[in-house]
Structure 1
Amino acid sequence: MHVYLNGEILPLEQARVSVEDRGFLFGDGVYEVTRVLPSGLFAESEHWQRLQRGIRELKLATPEGFSKEMVRRISHELLEANGLTGRQATVYLQLTRGAAPRNHGFPPAGTPPTLYMSASPFQVPWTQRKEGVSALMLPDLRWARCDLKTVNLLPNILAKQQARDAGVFEALLVRDGVITEGASTSVFVVMDGALYTHPKNERILPGVTRDIVLSLAREQGLTVHERPAQVVELGRFQEVFLAGTTTDVQPVIAVNGGKVGEGKPGPVTLALQRALLQRMGLEAPP
């Protein structure tokens, strides 16, 4: 496997980051994951815009010449170097504030940032997409700026592991009695035939796939409410699904051990799943 690190594509085992890198010491950085389809980078501009917003909000420096075109070029070089051209894959990008003696304040001006990128093969778990998964609700213990895609993911990791230990796929995070999002996904709920999801604010990540799904829902004439589903409304949930860069539209058929609706993927979920796959140029196997 070959990766990109600070201007060079090299074998993974040769890549070295300083132990004083602030991403290692503080989680001081942002990241982005972009889906790669046979047709190319999917939703490239949307991922770039989210990355740029995170860079601005965290006041991160960027390498010389850093641009969408530069990231695209490196992505294609990594795909080629790893034999992934024309295949499904993901490209991971991480930018940190660089290496400097440990201090909570920002390092001196001019400290070079650290830019790391990698490409990995991806296979859609078609059976999982077709049959659905289970989830459980857990307290949302994250900080107050969940809208920034930082590498500080410890609360997400703990929630994901708790879900795994419980034998379910995802944790639905709950704050002040409402579902914000999943540990690594956006959450959608269907009630009375209408689609509900948490509005964009500091409590959720502005998901790229979330926005595409909302657009597709409106194109299909669905009633859409950007308002969070409440825990007390669980008995009204007709359908639940997750969305994300590597999750696409993933039906949820059980929450907290109880069936959602009829305990199988519902019509709204399946229609949006088909629409997203069509937008991506993919076709589910029969």
Structure 2
Amino acid sequence: MSRTVYVNGEYLPEEEAKVSIFDRSFLMADGVYEVTSVLGGKIIDFSGHIARLERSLGELDMQKPAAFDDLLEIHRELVRLNEIDEGMIYLQVSRGSAGDRDFVFPDPEKVKPTLVLFTQNKPGLADSPAAKTGLKVISIEDMRWARRDIKTVQLLYPSMGKMMAKKQGCDDAWLVEDGVVTEGTSNNAYIVKNGTIITRELSTHILHGITRAAVLRFAREAQMTVVERPFTIEEAQDADEAFITSASTFVLPVVEIDGAAIGTGAPGPMAARLREIYLEESRKAGV
């Protein structure tokens, strides 16, 4: 059955959805996006994602789409129309189409933003086998642009990084800059040493993960020690545990980095406990 998607005020079968070839997201990667998870038909961490979307738009001097205040209802309607119990909702805003290609931003009084949303049905999203087996990652040089705190649609290098990992029989890549880890290709990165959770502090070097914020809040509420600072690949290889967080994976353990086993080479107890807490609390707070 065809999905129903949302494009600029209309709910349409995906086959009928169209965006101009002159849309700046296509020509210039001039757009931002968010992805929210759905568990039990409820939307997870919605307010955090919308706050980050608003920040991304502001950092790029991009107009809010006309339907900005109605985004929760649009999300809920797409969940209903597509009968999503577990899955994801992707939202993308671009600067729109001025009808031709130009490096100069179009006049916002004349060109309205493009707003697109679509769903992905993912039964079993909360029961990922990777939570039990763990992920294997490689390290690669971080060659992205300098404003990683803005969640833009410029995802070519992260995609290349995932393909580099796949070619080596691994699941993902951790990005390294100036000798220290920034983050994963589409997730925030963590290690655990002597009971302390260590993760990169917020800055323009990393995405300000919404799942990251929730997981660290839950960790502190559970009396776990959290230190926000850079760490090296060598530190990670010597850690007791490692894990990632993202909206689509929640909390997943990492068991190998560049061929070196982390800890026992199996998922550790802290990552498992944080995943359990996150899923439990998120289900309760879903909207």
- TM-score by length of structure 2 reads 0.93
SS class of match (2:91): strand
Q: Distance in 2 between matches of 1:231 and 1:83?
A: 42
Describe the shift of the 1:33–1:234 C-alpha distance in structure 2 as closer, same or farther (beyond 3 A).
Answer: closer
- Whether the 8 Å CA contact 2:41–2:86 is kept in 1: the answer is no
Return the match for 1:279 from 272, 277, 281.
281
Q: Distance in 2 between matches of 1:77 and 1:280?
A: 20
What residue number does 1:264 align with? 266
1:71 paired with 2:71, answer yes
What residue number does 2:203 align with? 201
- In the TM superposition, 1:123-162 aligns within 5 A as 123-124=124-125, 125-162=127-164
Let me know the Cα RMSD of the aligned residues.
Answer: 1.3
SS class of match (1:179): strand
1:110-163 deviation per Cα after TM superposition (whole angstroms, max 9, x unaligned): 202110001121232532111111111111111110000000111111111111
What residue number does 2:40 align with? 38
Q: Distance in 2 between matches of 1:21 and 1:234?
A: 42
- In the TM superposition, 1:236-275 aligns within 5 A as 236-275=238-277
Return the match for 1:28 from 27, 30, 43.
30
Q: Distance in 1 between matches of 2:198 and 2:213?
A: 13
Q: Distance in 2 between matches of 1:128 and 1:91?
A: 21
The share of aligned pairs that are identical, in percent, is: 39
**Matching residue's letter, 2:279:** L
1:207-241 deviation per Cα after TM superposition (whole angstroms, max 9, x unaligned): 01111111111112122110021133244211000
Q: Paired residues, what number?
A: 278
1:105 paired with 2:107, answer no
What residue number does 1:117 align with? 117
Moved more, 30-39 or 176-185: 30-39
Q: Distance in 2 between matches of 1:64 and 1:194?
A: 45
Moved more, 191-200 or 21-30: 191-200
Q: Distance in 2 between matches of 1:161 and 1:46?
A: 30
Describe the shift of the 1:133–1:14 C-alpha distance in structure 2 as closer, same or farther (beyond 3 A).
Answer: same
Question: Where in structure 1 are there 5+ consecutive unaligned residues?
Answer: none
Moved more, 184-193 or 199-208: 184-193
1:182-225 deviation per Cα after TM superposition (whole angstroms, max 9, x unaligned): 00011110122211000000000000111111111111212211
SS class of match (2:230): coil
Return the match for 1:91 from 89, 92, 99.
89
- Whether the 8 Å CA contact 2:41–2:79 is kept in 1: the answer is no
SS class of match (2:115): strand
SS class of match (2:207): coil
- Whether the 8 Å CA contact 2:237–2:257 is kept in 1: the answer is no
**Matching residue's letter, 1:206:** H
Question: Where in structure 2 are there 5+ consecutive unaligned residues?
Answer: none
**Matching residue's letter, 2:153:** V
CA shift for structure 1 position 83? 2.1
1:80-122 deviation per Cα after TM superposition (whole angstroms, max 9, x unaligned): 22122xx112111000000122111101232021100011212
Q: Distance in 1 between matches of 2:16 and 2:73?
A: 21
What residue number does 1:12 align with? 14
SS class of match (1:180): strand
